[in-house]
Amino acid sequence: MKNIILSLAIATALVSCKEETKEKVKEASAAVGTEMKESIDSVAEKAQSAIDTSKVKAKQLIEKGAEKVELEAKKVKEKAAKKD
């Protein structure tokens, strides 16, 4: 009788521990999922910021290049006008 009761007590303890472990695994999985989502959002924000910065710098470079082209075109026109 003692063996049967002892066996039942051990079996109950094992089943109980198994259920608690499942709950902990679910909680840990949810936490990891949340952290991954936050990390992805953070990376996306940083990437968007870098893209925006690159666009601004490219626009500035294009404007400077256009100014130089206009200046050189003006010089060419002046030289052409002097030759006539």
DSSP annotation of 1 reads -
pLDDT digits (tens, 9 = 90+) for 54-70: 999 999 999 999 999 99
pLDDT digits (tens, 9 = 90+) for 19-43: 667 777 788 888 888 888 999 999 9
In this structure, the number of other CB atoms found within 10 A of the CB of residue 59 comes to 10
Tell me the whole-structure pTM to 2 decimals.
0.51
Q: CA torsion 28→29→34→39, rounded to 10°?
A: 100
Maximal CA-CA distance, the chain: 124
What pLDDT does residue 55 have? 94
